[in-house]
Chains A and B, each alone.
Chain A
Amino acid sequence: MLPSHPPSPNYLESASMMSGTLESLSGLGEDGSSIGSDSEINGLAVRRTDKYGFLGGTQYSEGSDKDIRVDVARQRELKWLDMFNNWDKWVSRRFQKVKLRCRKGIPSSLRAKAWQLLSNSKELLDSNPGKFEELEREQGDPKWLDIIEKDLHRQFPFHEMFAARGGHGQQDLYRVLKAYTVYRPEEGYCQAQAPVAAVLLMHMPAEHAFWCLVQICETYLPGYYSAGLEAIQLDGEIFFSLLRRVCPMAYRHLKKFKIDPILYMTEWFMCVFSRTLPWSCVLRVWDMFFCEGVKIVFRVGLVLLKQMLGSVDKLREVQGMYETMERLRNIPPESVREDLLVQEDDRKKKRSKEDKKKEKEEEKRKEKEKKKDKADKESQKKEKERAEKEKKKEKGGKKKDRGGGEAEEKNGATAPRDSA
């Protein structure tokens, strides 16, 4: 399915240096040796993965996930197919419904296409034919390529796509991440982009994943991966002040032990929880994230803190900085069932007061960012303008930018009742 591309010589060299294709699977126990994680390499068709492709590790699903009924699943697929056929109309006229359906979870068979439509990356892809190949042909800056190569085997090492050193998944990851550094040389590569790109690659071919990554980096989470990492630190502060309102108990606890937001939310936010939650939850969160934007990241973070530190009993278990950090870095899967996560999310949505507060916070944030931007050097401004122009060119007279879902946010006050 993937277009076969000759990896650049530079990469080939390093790939050949990577020893032992299944080396990374040791530690899987007795099954490890017999798993064919990359059929091309070892010719084995035996796969013992969960339904998401995980061979083991903390994000492996034990198969106890209750699947939705077949007829319900089929209904949903039909609804989504219908939306695909009239996508622009659905988004402009019935966005609430689209949002609700994203909250219920996008059918896995249609997820890749839905993500690309929701993020507008499909449009970028269509309006830039050949661009990805062009970027791939460029040599790339060794400064970035060096770090990228070191990261290839450190993303989802327990996922069948990425387990084998130099395997297809890692090759595609290299292509996507390298292409981005060529596409935005001033941005280069940030290590947190690798897990994000890897999640995309689990669902779509490299070129599609690339444009989707572009949208995440530039529209959904602008500045998160840029040198200086100011945006993530700023959002950390905002997140913490939101926590004060949403869950004072957790807030006081974290403050008491001087656990800065940056200590636990950096990975959560920069990787959009892809390293944090059970996989079924990751997908649900990403479905909502692609539809509604960064606010989903904030909300999920708040729900998690509330779950982990929101009651006297829970706090009793984590009396200390170390204990608290351990808990937040290894969230027990049973405490974040997907229905709970989404339901919690909805209940918050119903509390309109809180919602308004949040919107205010977000506005404040935007203002802060504007101020920050003003303070930035002229050169950066020019850079942005240039990027804007380029984007517009690329979009080729597209009507409106709905990527971040910010415009729709105001309409989102009506509480959807999620029966999923």
Chain B
Amino acid sequence: MAKQYDVLFRLLLLGDSGVGKTCLLCRFTDNEFHPSHISTIGVDFKMKTLEIDGIKVRIQIWDTAGQERYQTITKQYYRRAQGIFLVYDITSERSFQHIMKWASDVDEYAPDNIQRILIGNKSDEEEKRQVATGQGNKLAKDYGMDFFETSASTNYNITESFTRLAEQVLAANKKDLDLLRASVTDELNLAALEEEEGITDGAAASQKGCWC
């Protein structure tokens, strides 16, 4: 009986409009990069399964519109997440300044044990760089986050950063994870644990029969 996954959880991509959230996601889930794409209006998500320490981790990654006024909509999804990417664009000082705003929103609306990671995207555009790597490092340190410079365009540090955040979420939920190890036949639905009942990935749920 091949299990689809052992753990399911949700990650959220946040950051200013145009920093490359959708491109990061496309690169990670489909290994594609489209120079011509459309702006994100509202909320979208994609799925991908990773294997970390022998555990099959199914992650649901939510992509959000970056413009401030969409936050009334996107904020509703903060509380459902276990991990958050704070993304800026290394060619945009402004998008870096705004990370502080994004981080404080996360503090306000996301669950307490949420895991965060800082991403400086578009690292391939060195000639247009406005934010030094050191600045990113320092900010990440101040906030106690890990930090990656990435490029969706050249596929630099994409899997690394997504895997790192997934590992952090796993570690933060170690207690539940140990339970999982004790009873290998069960799956663990972190996403569902956050709410009263499981919003499971239905296909997987139906394949495995009763989980609720």
Measuring CB to CB, which residues of chain A are less than 8 angstroms from any residue of chain B?
A: 17, 23-27, 57, 146-147, 150-151, 153-158, 163, 190-192, 194-195, 226-230, 233, 257-258, 260, 262-263, 266-267, 270-271, 275, 319-325, 329
Contacts and interface: CB of A to CB of B under 8 A. Distances in A.
Contact of A325 (B18, B45, B69, B72): B45
Interface string B65-99: 10111101100100000000000000000100000
Contact of A155 (B18, B39, B201, B203): B39
A26 B205 contact: no
A24 B42 contact: no
Given A146-B94, A228-B69, A329-B44, A163 B39 contact: no
A151 B17 contact: yes
Interface of B: 17-18, 34-39, 41-45, 47, 60, 65, 67-70, 72-73, 76, 94, 128, 199, 201-206
Given A147-B17, A266-B43, A275-B41, 4 more contacts: A24-B35, A154-B38, A229-B69, A270-B42
A377 to B, nearest CB: 17
A310 B35 CA distance: 36
A191 B66 CA distance: 9
A192 B41 contact: yes
A27 B35 contact: yes
B202 A271 contact: no
Contact of A26 (B35, B47, B68, B69): B35
A191 B39 CA distance: 8
Contacts of B68: 227
A27 B18 contact: no
Contacts of A191: 17, 39, 41, 65, 67, 70
Contacts of A25: 36
Contacts of B17: 147, 150-151, 191
Which among B34, B42, B72, B201 has the highest number of chain A CB atoms within 10 Å? B42
A17 B92 CA distance: 13
A227 B69 contact: yes
B16 to A, nearest CB: 9
Contacts of A157: 36-38
Given A266-B73, A267-B42, A24 B202 contact: no
12 contacts: A24-B36, A27-B36, A150-B17, A150-B39, A154-B38, A190-B67, A195-B41, A258-B199, A271-B41, A320-B203, A321-B199, A322-B60
A270 B36 CA distance: 21
Contacts of B128: 17
B36 A158 contact: yes
A260 B73 CA distance: 11
Contacts of A319: 202-203, 206
B189 to A, nearest CB: 13
A322 B203 contact: yes
A230 B70 CA distance: 10
A191 B70 CA distance: 9
A320 B202 contact: yes
Contacts of A321: 199, 201-202
Contact of A151 (B39, B42, B60, B73): B39
A267 B41 contact: yes
Contacts of B44: 325, 329
Contacts of A155: 38-39
B60 to A, nearest CB: 7
Nearest to B33: A27
A228 B72 contact: yes
A150 B45 contact: no
A75 B60 CA distance: 54
Contacts of A23: 35-36
Contact of A320 (B42, B94, B206): B206
Contacts of A190: 67, 69
A325 B36 CA distance: 22
Contacts of B43: 262-263, 266
Nearest to B22: A154
Contacts of A26: 35-36
Nearest to B197: A258
Contacts of A320: 201-206
A226 to B, nearest CB: 8
Contacts of B34: 27
